[in-house]
Chain A
Amino acid sequence: MSRNEENKKFWLSLDDLKNSLNFAKAKENEFAEGMTEEFNLDAQPSHSRRKFLALAGASAAFAATACTDYRDKGEIIPYNKKPDDLTIGVANYYASTCTGCSNTCGILIKTREGRPIKIDGNPDHPISRGKICAAGQANILNLYDPERLKEPLSGANGKFKPANWKNIDNKIIEAMNKASADNKEIAIITHSVLSPSQKKLFEDFKLKYPTGKVYSYELFNDKNRQSAWKQCYGESNFPVISWGDANVILSLESDFLGNEGNFVEQIRLFAGKRNVDDAKNFNRLYVAEGGMSLTGMNSDHRLRIKPDAQFEFVMSLLNEIIFVRKVTSTTLNPSLSAKIGQYNLKGITSKYKLSENVLNSLVNDLISNKGKSIVYAGDILSEEVHIAVNALNDVLGNNALYNKERGNVKQMPLSENAEIESLINSMNGGNVAVILHFDTNPVFHFAPDYGYASALKKVPVVVTMCENENDTSVRSNYVLPIHHNFESWGDFQTRTGLFSLQQPVIAPLYNTRQKESILHLLIGGNAENYSEDGYHQYMMKNWEQNIYPSLSVASDFRSFWFAALHDGVVNYKAPAQTIGEIYTSANELLHYPDSKGVILMLTRNYTIGDGRFANNGWLQELPHPVSKVTWDNYASISLNTSKQLGVKIGDYIEIKASGKKLSVPVMIQPGMADGVVSIELGYGRKVGGTVGSKVGFDGIQFISKKNYTPMLISGISISKASGKYKFASTQEHHAINEPEVMEFHKQRSIIQEGTVAAYIKNPDFFREGKPKIEDISIVNRVQYTGTKWAMAIDLNKCVGCGICVSACNVENNVPIVGKDMVKVGREMHWIRVDRYYSDSPEEPETSNQPMLCMHCDDAPCENVCPVVATNHSPDGLNQMIYNRCVGTRYCSNNCPYKVRRFNFYNFRNHFADGYYNKDSLSLMQNPEVTVRSRGVMEKCTFCVQRIMEARQEAIKNGVPLKGSEVKTACQEACPAEAITFGDAHEKDSPIDYIRNHKLGYHVLEELNIKPNVTYIARLRNKAAEGQS
């Protein structure tokens, strides 16, 4: 007690000296009510003086050290006024819509502190169901692309100087007024119009400027399909197909799993019918194609047939089914029947050396699955084929599979070639005063023989709205920088009964404007009253007045609107589409050329769209799902054709077609039909930025307005040209180079497969006759109790699209290494999709296998790291400590799966002189993932940052962590739902179930390193041989 007295003394002594009145007062309210309840003097430690001295000493010491310059960690910059509902360090999600192509998928944008860092599908979107394509994932790189236009430019023939918006707006408005005054055309060239509000904007534009016209085009379009449909059913909207109900699918030169239509949705529905626990209902995929497409890779039976033989093929099928097998549910137009009568299956079989067994079983399957099968022709095929296919589907009663509820919606049909041609004529005639390129690049996309580029010279005012400089912008007078997807407002409708909304997630990074607002301003006709919010208001008004009332919803508009933005979608009941009787006569089918000579096939590419993503390194570096080539396109030909030409992979060939020449390196592609050359379009941009320029070869030059089928050019000549080219491929082409190693993946049981029939007969067939691997070890191993993370990949569902790779890149700050580095095998992808060919290079059987870190229990990599930079976490993660890594690369050498990636350079610096080291990119990096430096090993972490987030949440809510609630980036992105992740020790969790599945296996089991990624063996749904 006495000691405390002393303490009191000590504490108060200073003040006790002066006992003045005001001091007493001060004392009074120092101990005001409720102030010092918890403040108990006696509770103070007795020796606080010494403590104090110690502290003083310490602080002095710190002060001293502070004087020496220690590393400055930068200042802390909080929000001035923290936005509501935003917690620093916690992600916010915004529902929006992707405008990367015309599928308008719903997306969910993950933002941290108001910066978008990751894109995924919007789970509430009935079409995309939380999935988007690789481009959609990587689109975020375009937002932060250092080469985005940052301010408006004005100038001529390629030389521009910065200008300010107001002047440019005035000039354009002036020009437009003048144009309408002296009755010259004002043309807007846009891509397909998908947005009701945008459509209304165009209408307003036409009202304001009577001479205004709107042209829309797509490089890759389904015009043939649509017009064929019109021929058959009178209305021009080809219905949506409910793939999920199809037991048998015959795909003709169509890559519906790879890049045609809304392939993300199609993969989901297709894979949905490949559930091993419901093997009886597996769908069977027949593919008849000339190229080797991703769809072809996943086929159960594949027929190699030239695209120009497809018509005969379908007709003979019709003949076989109607006249030979006497199956029909509809009466066809007699002339058509007559025409069909001219073809027969036997003839085709011998003419194109097709397998009779396959054809037999195909016909049988189609017949036995009447109304449950679908025949689907590719966009590039001619109208005739589509008509024939419609007829075939009709005959088989497959109309049942047309989804009547969610039909396609076209806001505006694409312009016909004739319209484009007349536009160009009037341009040349000097009758076009103003051209607005509405985020389009026609100079690159239009068939060269339109002579668009030269026609542009005759137009006084050419305005190009674009994010990055492109082939068209350099030929214009005004270049207006526009918002990126994630900075824009918008509303979209591509399916009946569904609107999809788009909202910005970050204020414009640069001095840009949304293209709609620009047009809106031009319509307004006064450069003064621009407001960033303009189009937002316009759109809301449009909804409030036109759309909202028609939906007849209960709640008031504001709450409806906010709810819509919140969900990102508006569902409503729409009248079902009606499909009438098919009426088509033979006269639409008259002029179809017979197959002759070598044919050139211009196809879609898998990554960079119609070239608009050319400046996106992530997409350029995404391996081609079939050939695994990055940063390039090429002419793929079959092995036989290559032998005839005497060329090897990488040799140049010269392609001559109607006066045009292109010399391009060849890729000998197993599974190609002989006499077919196929080139993917979208590559070969002349003006495409640092990353995108001069990547690949421009095949668009072969498109001709004269061609009946623009993408199929027959009667071409190919010859060996001089020169050798090295592809930057992530996988070697042993199938061709070393046939003797072709079957290795089977011998080493890396790929283990079976057939559905065998599985149904005996579900244990897979396990039987396999040696049991005993756990031999000279020391007793660590046992993992408690949480243990594991993954499973269902190879039945995986189609090898590579979306997981793209998602992983974004989530984990994976660097772009560039073409030269991929060439020497230094790509950094944490997850890769391995592709193996079996059987012959002519008729290969392909297998896909996503390969990532297996997080082995007895990981060989850990044993050899001299500095314990890689080791095992108690919950079974093989973890990598970047800061500890000195970079001996020993772990990578010792990894049997070779999934470790080494930073041979600081790649961000090394690629194009630090192109991806610019400041804007730092905004994109996931703040939860270390940005690895040079000389450090890295690899898949099972998205440990997500695991930690989940654990944090669980602890906060005081509940045990449920492994099944953690989703890795690849899993979240996989449209086929092939990936399962979770805690292997969580009873009856999906992962627990799959790990013990009868079809489950581990790659390189015999090494006994206990990998934790389980693969579900692929079952091929082969038809029983030779039934008829």
Chain B
Amino acid sequence: MENRNLYSVTGLFDTPDEIVQAVEAVQKEGYTKYDVNTPYPVHGLDIKMKLPPSKLGYFALALGLTGAIGALFFMWWSMSMDYPVVIGGKPFFAFPAFIPVTFEVTVLIASVGTVLTMLFLYFRFPNLSHPLHDTDYMKSVSNDKFGISIEAEDSLFDVVRVKKLFEKLGAKRISEINFDIAELNKKPKIFELKFMVFLLFTAIIISGASYFTLNKLLYMEPFNWMMEQSRVMPQSHSKIFKDGFGMRNPVSGTVARGSMPYMFAGQPDIAGEKLVNPFIPDEKTLTLGKKKYNTYCSPCHGNFAKGDARLNGQFPNPPSLHSDKVRTWTDGRIFAVITEGQNIMPSYAQQLTPDERWAVILYVRALQRAVNAKEDDLK
């Protein structure tokens, strides 16, 4: 006939004094698994119940220290290890300036941490399915009564004895609290269709919203990321000009600083007479010449100006530059060819600045010299 679902037997009292006496009695009886429920903390009960002093204070201390150290470490790491920047001439680890943040983080971690520890570690909250809930007992203790509930699990527990004890103590109302069977056997149904649909729905909403925000909204007025700049960058478009080119051509007939126009267009021979190479074949010029030659000339003229193109006949190979003709040409004459091009060879004026052209010529001279050296080179 014993009630399997019995959780506890409870008794209600009216005044703080009564409950204090009751607790003393219960304690004397030797019950351990019991609890006292009062609408507000009644002073001294914890002593009567022989509860050990709460350890939460230590938690607070520990958490606070973690916060402090963590904050300091993070500031040190971010400001002097990960991305050091000079700020106001301060050293990277400017301790005095870090104190306020350290303090704030300490307090934050400590207080939040302690509360969470209490609620979730100590009290195992949230717990809405405790048998005491929704009982008249609970209703009364949360309002104006003081109650004791002795749990069935207690070794000394026996319904009759407990009830007797309560009567002796003059409890106003004595009642048995049972586990709610339904509650116990209830299985939460996660894979219910409704729930799944709901999940799906929220997923779509969230992803849609975030897509709109991140890819559209954030690039509308007034949001401004200074990515669209109202200035014309090189090789960019411009609405002003009909042709849409942001880059313009200089007006013909004008002369920019440091660039005199080529005077001998169409008269390579005159150029040959008039133009003189401003450079002498020294280290610097030759390296420059070599670089430019290999970049622009060698594909057709070959690395050694032998006219051995790398273009495998997709393009008629040019003649060798070691021919007497070219060797007897003046630098100016070659300059004219590079500048204007000849036959199928196009002008290289765009690719090579005049100085570079002269350098290339010197390098070609060096090649020519190398191929058929003179006597005095041996000396």
B232: chain A residues at CB < 8 Å are 113, 115, 922-923, 925, 927
* CB 8 Å contact bits of A927-965 with B (1 = contact, 0 = none): 101111111100000000000000000000000000000
Per-residue 0/1 for B323-365: is the Cβ within 8 Å of any A Cβ (1 yes, 0 no)? Answer: 0000000000000000000000000011001000000000000
What residues on B are CB-neighbors of A766 within 8 Å?
A: none
Task: Using C-beta atoms within 8 Å of the partner chain, give the interface range for chain B.
Answer: 35 or more
Binds B, one of A1-9, A738-746, A858-866: A858-866
Given A77-B244, A921-B230, A86:B250 Cβ within 8 A:
yes
Q: Does B91 contact A (CB under 8 A)?
A: yes
Chain A residues closer than 8 Å to B263, beta-carbon distance: 558-559, 562
* CB neighbours of A533 from chain B (8 A): 252-253
Query: What residues of chain B lie closer than 8 Å to A779, measured between beta carbons?
Result: 90-91, 94-96
Contact status B240-A509, CB under 8 Å: yes
In contact, A926 and B231 (Cβ under 8 angstroms): yes
Q: Which residues in chain B, 251-268, are within 8 Å of chain A measured between CB atoms?
A: 251-263
Pick the residue among A29, A113, A505, A861 that contacts B254 (CB under 8 A): A505
Instruction: Write the chain B residue with the least CB distance to A88.
Output: B234
Complex Cα distance, B257 from A780, in Å, reads 50
* Binary flags per residue of A77-97, CB closer than 8 Å to B gives 1, else 0: 111011111101100111100
Do A919 and B255 have beta carbons less than 8 Å apart? no
Least CB separation from A504: chain B residue: B251
Nearest chain A residue, comparing its CB with the CB of B349:
A84
On chain A, the residues within 8 Å of B226 by CB distance are: 882-883, 930-933, 936
State whether the Cβ of A61 lies closer than 8 Å to any Cβ in chain B. no
Structural contact, A906 and B229, CB atoms closer than 8 A: no
Asked if B198 lies at the interface with its beta carbon under 8 angstroms from chain A, I say no
Which DSSP category, helix, strand, loop or mixed, fits chain B's interface?
loop
- Segment with Cβ contacts to A, from B5-13, B81-89, B116-124, B151-159: B81-89
Best-buried of B86, B91, B261, B263 by chain A (most CB within 10 Å): B86
A922-B90 in contact (CB<8A)? no
Q: Which one of B60-68, B188-196, B302-310 is at the interface?
A: B302-310
Q: How many residues of A contact B (CB 8 A)?
A: 88
Give the contacts of A530-558 with B (CB-CB under 8 A).
533, 536, 558
Whether A77 lies near B310 (C-beta < 8 A) is: no
Cβ contact of A504, chosen from B235, B245, B254, cutoff 8 A: B254
Query: Could you tell me if B254 and A83 are in contact, using CB atoms closer than 8 angstroms?
Result: no
- Asked if B219 is at the interface (CB within 8 A of a chain A CB), the reply is yes
User: Per-residue CB proximity of A843-887 to B under 8 Å, as 1/0?
Assistant: 000000000000011111111010010011110000000110000
A93 touches B89 (CB 8 A): no
CA distance A1010 to B90 in the complex (A): 13
A585 within 8 A of B: no
Q: Which residues of B contact A85 (CB under 8 A)?
A: 256, 258-259, 353
Q: A33-B308, A781-B89, A862-B88 are in contact. Are A92 and B256 (CB under 8 A)?
A: yes
* A908 partner, pick from B219, B230, B349, beta carbons under 8 A: B230
B361 to nearest A CB, angstroms? 17
Is A108 a contact partner of B257 (Cβ separation < 8 A)? yes
- Interface of A, secondary structure class, is loop
Beta-carbon nearest neighbor of B347 in chain A: A84
**In the assembled complex, A75 has its CB within 8 A of some CB on chain B:** yes
Say how far A190's CB is from chain B's closest CB, in angstroms. Answer: 24
**Which residue of chain A lies nearest to B226 when distances are taken between CB atoms in the complex?**
A933
Contact partners of B234 in chain A: CB under 8 A: 88-89, 112-113, 927
Q: A29-B312, A781-B91, A872-B87 are in contact. Are A922 and B247 (CB under 8 A)?
A: no
Most buried by B among A77, A84, A868, A933: A84
Report A557-575 CB contacts with B as 1/0, cut-off 8 Å. Answer: 0110011011000000000
Complex contact B87–A77 (CB within 8 A):
no
Closest chain B residue to A873, Cβ basis: B86
**Is A113 touching B257 in the complex (CB atoms < 8 A)?**
no
CB-CB contacts of B77-109 with A at 8 A, as 1s and 0s? 000000001111111001111000000000000
Among listed A66-74, A251-259, A363-371, A470-478, interface-contacting one? A66-74
A138 to B238 Cα, complex, angstroms: 22
| Residues of chain B with a CB closer than 8 A to A32's CB | 310, 312
The yes or no answer to A778 lying at the interface (CB within 8 A) is yes
B92 to chain A: closest residue by CB: A782
Binary per-residue interface labels of chain B (207-250) against chain A in the complex, 1 for a CB within 8 Å, 0 otherwise: 00000000100010010111101111111111111001111111
Residues of chain B within 8 A (CB-CB) of A29 are 312
A559 CA to B263 CA, complexed, in Å: 8
Beta-carbon contacts under 8 Å, A388-435 to B: none
Chain A residues lying within 8 Å of B86, measured Cβ to Cβ, are 782, 862, 871-874
| Shortest CB distance B257–A (Å) | 4
Chain B residues closer than 8 Å to A863, beta-carbon distance: 87-88, 90, 97
A contact residues around B308 at 8 Å (CB): 33-34
Question: Is B239 in contact with A919, judged by CB distance below 8 angstroms?
Answer: yes
Smallest CB separation, B352 vs chain A (Å): 9
Chain B residue with the shortest CB-CB distance to A864: B88
Q: Are B231 and A81 in contact (CB under 8 A)?
A: no
- Is A114 in the interface zone, CB < 8 Å from B? yes
Residues on A with beta carbons closer than 8 Å to the beta carbon of B353? 85
Closest residue of chain A to B225 (Cβ to Cβ) is: A883
B residues in contact with A89, CB < 8 Å: 234
In-complex Cβ contact of B89 among A74, A112, A858 (8 A): A858
Asked if residues B235 and A919 are in contact (CB atoms below 8 Å), the reply is no
Assess the A114–B249 pair: CB atoms within 8 A: yes
Cβ of A906: which chain B residues have Cβ within 8 Å of it?
224
Q: In the assembly, what is the distance between CA of A85 and CA of B261, in Å?
A: 9
Q: Which residue of A lies closest to B309 (CB)?
A: A34
Say yes or no for A1007: interface residue by CB 8 A criterion: no
A35 within 8 A of B: yes
Nearest CB in chain B to that of A928: its residue: B231
Q: A641 interface residue, CB < 8 Å from B?
A: no
Shortest CB-to-CB span from A557 to chain B, Å, is: 11
A506 touching B90 in the complex, CB below 8 Å, given contacts A34-B302, A559-B263, A931-B230: no
Kindly identify which residue among B89, B219, B236, B244 contacts A71, using a CB–CB cutoff of 8 Å. Answer: B219
Check A507 for interface membership: any CB of B closer than 8 A: yes
In the assembly, what is the distance between CA of A539 and CA of B254, in Å?
Answer: 13
Residues of chain B within 8 A (CB-CB) of A923 are: 232, 238, 240, 246
Beta-carbon contact of B247 and A84 below 8 Å: no
A920 to B241, CA, bound (A): 9
Who on chain B is nearest to A908 by CB? B230
Determine whether the beta carbon of A74 is less than 8 Å from that of B236.
yes
Interface string of A565-605 (1 = CB under 8 A from B): 11000000000000000000000000000000000000000
Residues of chain B within 8 A (CB-CB) of A562 are 255, 260-261, 263
* Identity of the chain A residue whose Cβ is nearest the Cβ of B302 in the assembled complex: A34
B14 to chain A, nearest CB (A): 59
Q: Are B261 and A95 in contact, with the CB atoms below 8 A? A: no
Say how far A673's CB is from chain B's closest CB, in angstroms: 48
CB proximity to B under 8 Å, residues A23-37: 29, 32-35
Nearest residue (CB) in B for A860 is B88
Residues of chain A within 8 A (CB-CB) of B222 are: 934
Q: Tell whether, in the assembled complex, residue A94 and residue B87 are in contact, meaning their CB atoms are under 8 Å apart.
A: no
Chain B residues packing against A (C-beta within 8 Å): 85-91, 94-97, 215, 219, 222, 224-227, 229-241, 244-263, 302-303, 308, 310, 312, 349-350, 353
The 6 closest A-B pairs by CB, nearest first: A114-B248, A925-B231, A85-B259, A858-B89, A113-B247, A863-B88
Extra 18 A-B pairs, beta carbons < 8 Å, given A565-B254, A862-B88: A32-B312, A71-B219, A83-B350, A88-B234, A88-B247, A92-B250, A93-B256, A108-B257, A505-B254, A536-B253, A562-B260, A860-B88, A863-B87, A882-B226, A919-B238, A922-B238, A926-B231, A933-B224
User: Can you list 13 A-B contacts (CB < 8 A)?
Assistant: A83-B249, A83-B350, A93-B256, A108-B257, A566-B256, A779-B91, A858-B88, A859-B89, A872-B88, A908-B230, A925-B229, A930-B229, A1010-B89
Give me the interface of A with B, judged by CB distance under 8 Å. 29, 32-35, 68-69, 71, 74-79, 81-86, 88-89, 92-95, 108, 111-115, 503-507, 509, 533, 536, 558-559, 562-563, 565-566, 778-782, 813, 856-863, 865, 868, 871-874, 882-883, 906, 908, 917, 919-923, 925-927, 929-936, 1010
